[in-house]
Amino acid sequence: MRLALAQLNPLVGDLAGNGERILAACRQAAAQGADLVLTPELSLWGYPPRDLLLRPSLLIQQATELQRLADALALEWPDLAVLVGVAEPAGATERPNLFNAIALIGAGQWRIVARKRLLPTYDVFDEQRYFRAGDQASVLDLEHQGRCWRLGLTICEDLWVEEELQGHRLAGADPVAELLPRQIDLLLNLSASPFGQAKAALRHRLAARAAQRLQCPVVYVNQVGGNDELVFDGASFVVAASGTVVRQLACCREQVAVWDTPGVNPAPSPPAAQLPEANDQLFRALVLGVQDYARKCRFAQALLGLSGGIDSALVAVIATAALGPDNVQGLLMPSPWSSAGSLADATALAQRLGMGTHTLPIAPLMAGFDAALHPALAGPPAGLTAENLQSRIRGTLLMAVANQQGQLLLSTGNKSELAVGYCTLYGDMNGGLAVIGDLYKTTVFALCAWLDSPAAAPCRAELGLPPQGELVGRAIREKPPSAELRPDQRDSDSLPDYALLDPILQALIEDLRSPEELASQGLADGTGVDRADAERILQLLRRAEFKRRQAAPLLKVSSRAFGSGWRMPIAAL
């Protein structure tokens, strides 16, 4: 039997449009001789649909779309079947009253063939708000060329049952173990698993363990595309019963690819591709996140402030790869404290990328604000107030230009700054999307170093960036970080060195460790931590919560980001 893995990029809530995407995938699959098409979790809705699932009109539309798909398949490809992710009404008044389910469409009909067993309610996931859990293993018996294929069906989290590999797992059933006595021929997993650093390799290990337990191949089909803060990297694959990857789909790109089940005389399959290295995956995920956020929110162009610093440089590179240089504009807004080197570096960066710029000096506006505030303050604004005022002047100019020109304003702050509050509300935090808001400053430096290395050339070429030479540039990469809001300012004047700050932040944010633990046990790599440093950083983290609550949505790429999965109180100890 020939399976088609349809790695699709849906628009959340667009049931008709997503149905067309499924039909287009079936057309490609049929042209490649496929017998069964697999689509991702909730592929008719797009993941995560969140409170759209509560709208009765959309559930009515779903039934219409399923029948439309069934009729279209019967007319064009009567021998083709497709598995589609749907929200199945439970037929009860108690809530939640839906199942996260799989429908089999073929021969002019459709029917539910599987229900998700394990419903994640952690980090960004909130499935128990909408769904009730299935209560039994799902096996589909499918006749093909005189043979009955026994297919085990699972949905995303149902495969994540190996605590030894994951470090944790949801309480509840083990859907893989429950399939053992059913002697299945294949295990199919329809997923919507967001990108995370090192996550693709973990999915391989989980599928390999399931394949070895069940002694059959595992076919894993994942959604691709950006939906709000989440980026889905696709990277679908097939592992043999031995656990070896025998088919690998692209990272961060839509694709329909076929795989032949083992048979008497199987057709030769292409060799399994390799996933890109970690920096390559991360960069592609960020580019896809910007590209889809803009496209799905109906923005054709983007705007950002260019300071000559490394954060805005990285955002400019990402935006250019996502939207093309003609659709990205930079504003240079020098103050009296901006160095000539920063202006030159920002201009040179824009020229390397081919993006347009405008320069709007803010010294006259600073003088105007000083004069206007003098009566109320009995003098001009000073200290932190004056520094923040510069940032807010720049933020106002950026918002004005973006509004007038219909552009998506990209904010350029990183995770380290968001964590400790080294950012200004209504200033540099302005924007519709925080592109690198989940990248620590040290990660920003590492990613920029990779971008400027020969190793990045294939990725750069594929994404339409100049493949040779520096992009970010050595001058920007080696410059001491500075907001340039006062003479000779450095980030290190207010913060610990990022090499010290970032590992402690990661331990506090993602590992939920306390200063006491860090002082007594050190970091994971054995580095010691001064308790006073850890306490100070924790206090900065807590005090900045009110700022993060008002920040632009960010692209999640870590295990714990300042987005919908971060639910800390503002008024707390």
The pLDDT of residue 484 is above 80: no
Q: Give, in order, the Cα–Cα distances in Å from 228 to each of 50, 79, 288.
A: 12, 37, 11
Catalytic-residue membership of 41: yes
pTM of the model as a whole: 0.95
Partnered with residue 219 across adjacent β-strands are: 188, 238
Read off the tokens for 426.
């209504």
Average pLDDT over all residues of the chain: 94
Q: Going from the N-terminus, what domains does the chain have, and what CATH number goes with each?
A: 2-262 (3.60.110.10), 282-492+544-548 (3.40.50.620)
Peptide bond into 48 cis (omega under 30): yes
What residues contact 312, with CB distance under 8 A and at least 6 apart?
A: 304, 305, 306, 330, 346, 412
**Whole-angstrom distance, CA of residue 338 vs CA of residue 366:** 13
pLDDT in tens, 52-89: 999 999 999 999 999 999 999 999 999 999 999 999 99
Reported as a pLDDT band with limits 50, 70 and 90, residue 339 is confident
Query: What does the buried/exposed string (b/e) look like for 271-295 if buried means 16 or more CB atoms within 10 Å of the residue's CB?
Result: eeeebbeebbbbbbbbbbbbbbbbb
Peptide bond into 56 cis (omega under 30): no
Range of lowest pLDDT (84-98, 204-218, 409-423):
84-98
Range of lowest pLDDT (12-26, 437-451, 484-498):
484-498
The pLDDT of residue 13 is above 50: yes
Q: Which residue has the higher pLDDT, 480 or 354?
A: 354
Among 26, 65, 127, 156, the active-site one is 156
The pLDDT of 230-251, averaged and rounded, is 97
pLDDT in tens, 212-226: 999 999 999 999 999
What residues contact 271, with CB distance under 8 A and at least 6 apart?
A: none
The pLDDT of residue 96 is above 80: yes
Read off the tokens for 264.
């008497």
Helix pair angle (531-543, 498-509), 10° resolution:
70
For 334, counting Cβ atoms within 10 Å of its Cβ (0-12 exposed, 13-18 middle, 19+ buried), the class is buried
The pLDDT of residue 265 is above 50: no
Read off the tokens for 187.
């295990």
Residue 58 is predicted with a pLDDT of 97
Q: What secondary structure does DSSP assign to 182-228, as a single string?
A: G--SEEEEEE--B--TTHHHHHHHHHHHHHHHHTS-EEEEE-EEEET
Reported as a pLDDT band with limits 50, 70 and 90, residue 268 is low
Reported as a pLDDT band with limits 50, 70 and 90, residue 480 is confident
The pLDDT of residue 266 is above 80: no
**Whole-angstrom distance, CA of residue 211 vs CA of residue 243:** 6
pLDDT in tens, 243-255: 999 999 999 999 9
Task: Determine if residue 198 is left, alpha or beta; phi over 0 gives left, psi from -120 to 50 gives alpha, anything else beta.
Answer: left
**Whole-angstrom distance, CA of residue 49 vs CA of residue 265:** 43
Query: Is the torsion defined by CA of 537, 542, 546, 551 positive or negative?
Result: positive
**Whole-angstrom distance, CA of residue 416 vs CA of residue 541:** 10
Catalytic-residue membership of 296: no
Instruction: Please report where in the chains the tokens 């299935």 appear, as a residue.
Output: 134
pLDDT in tens, 528-556: 999 999 999 999 999 999 999 999 999 99
Residue 337 is predicted with a pLDDT of 86
Residue 270 is predicted with a pLDDT of 56
pLDDT in tens, 293-332: 999 999 999 999 999 999 999 999 999 999 999 999 999 9
Among 26, 65, 88, 116, the active-site one is 116
The pLDDT of residue 368 is above 90: yes
For residues 8, 9, 12, 15, the Cα torsion angle rounded to the nearest 10 degrees is -50
Three-point CA angle 55, 59, 64, nearest 5°: 140
Residue 187 is predicted with a pLDDT of 98
Pairing between β-strand 98-106 and β-strand 230-233 as defined by DSSP bridges: unpaired
**Whole-angstrom distance, CA of residue 223 vs CA of residue 229:** 15
pLDDT in tens, 176-210: 999 999 999 999 999 999 999 889 999 999 999 99
**Whole-angstrom distance, CA of residue 538 vs CA of residue 560:** 16
